[in-house]
């Protein structure tokens, strides 16, 4: 067989359970960090799929509402004081763009082109830029929320 690798146990499921982020209303000083950690966890699971050669459901990857952060973003009624802010919708947009980039990585994983998928996650990639944009948007949302509280706008 030479250098050929045979993988008869290729995994086929990639389901990240949605944690309950609904209590996040930016009342605690670290709520934004929980959102960032949730995003990082999801991103890590995607990178694990490359390493573990786990096939992905691209339609699920594209559906940004299925990630913890996306689920939180699409549940505006649970945190109306945050959801009314301009940066909330910017975060929602950035999260969607991240999922588009993640689905592109998933296409290469499913095609078993793991080296290409790995390159797409490197620090100069559109995937990484979109991930950083999500984190930046979370910080901007936190800053906007804090300013609205300071100014007495609830």
Does 28 have pLDDT greater than 80? Answer: no
Nearest-angstrom CA–CA distance, 17 and 83: 23
Does 132 have pLDDT greater than 80? Answer: yes
Does 50 have pLDDT greater than 60? Answer: yes
Label residue 136 by pLDDT band (50, 70, 90).
very high
Domains identified in the chain, total number: 1
Answer for the pair 26, 142: CB distance below 8 angstroms, yes or no.
Answer: yes
Asked whether residue 87 is assigned to any structural domain, the reply reads yes
Asked whether residue 106 is assigned to any structural domain, the reply reads yes
Asked whether residue 2 is assigned to any structural domain, the reply reads no
Asked whether residue 15 is assigned to any structural domain, the reply reads no
Structure tokens at 102: 């993640």
Nearest-angstrom CA–CA distance, 60 and 63: 5
**Which phi and psi (to 5°) does residue 114 adopt?**
-65, -35
Asked whether residue 21 is assigned to any structural domain, the reply reads no
pLDDT at 26: 58
Asked whether residue 8 is assigned to any structural domain, the reply reads no
Bridge partners (DSSP) of residue 11 are 54
73-126 pLDDT, tens digit per residue, is 998 888 888 999 999 999 999 999 999 999 999 999 999 999 999 999 998 899
Specify the higher pLDDT residue, 42 or 119.
Answer: 119
137-154 pLDDT, tens digit per residue, is 999 999 999 899 888 765
Does 17 have pLDDT greater than 60? Answer: no
Give how far Cα 17 sits from Cα of 14, 78, 96, 113, 122, Å.
Answer: 10, 19, 18, 26, 25
Nearest to 130 by CA among 99, 98, 86: 98
Domain that holds residue 99: 31-150
**Which phi and psi (to 5°) does residue 5 adopt?**
-105, 130
Asked whether residue 68 is assigned to any structural domain, the reply reads yes
Range with lowest mean pLDDT among 20-34, 55-69, 122-136: 20-34
Query: Which residues, in sequence order, are CB contacts of 127 under 8 Å at separation 6+?
Result: 98, 101, 102, 104, 105, 120, 121
pTM of the model: 0.81
Asked whether residue 52 is assigned to any structural domain, the reply reads yes
């Amino acid at each position: 067989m030479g250098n050929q690798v045979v993988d008869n146990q290729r995994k086929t499921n990639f389901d990240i359970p949605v944690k309950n982020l609904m209590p996040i209303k930016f009342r605690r000083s670290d709520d934004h960090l929980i959102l960032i950690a949730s995003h990082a966890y999801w991103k890590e699971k995607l990178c694990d799929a490359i390493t573990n050669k786990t096939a992905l459901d691209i339609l699920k990857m594209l559906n940004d509402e299925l990630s913890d952060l996306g689920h939180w973003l699409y549940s505006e009624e649970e945190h109306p004081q945050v959801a009314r802010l301009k940066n909330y919708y910017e975060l929602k947009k950035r999260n969607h763009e991240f999922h588009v980039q993640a689905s592109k990585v998933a296409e290469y994983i499913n095609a078993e082109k793991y080296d290409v998928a790995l390159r797409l996650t490197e620090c100069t990639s559109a995937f990484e830029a979109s991930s950083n944009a999500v984190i930046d948007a979370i910080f901007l949302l936190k800053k906007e929320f804090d300013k609205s509280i300071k100014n007495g706008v609830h």
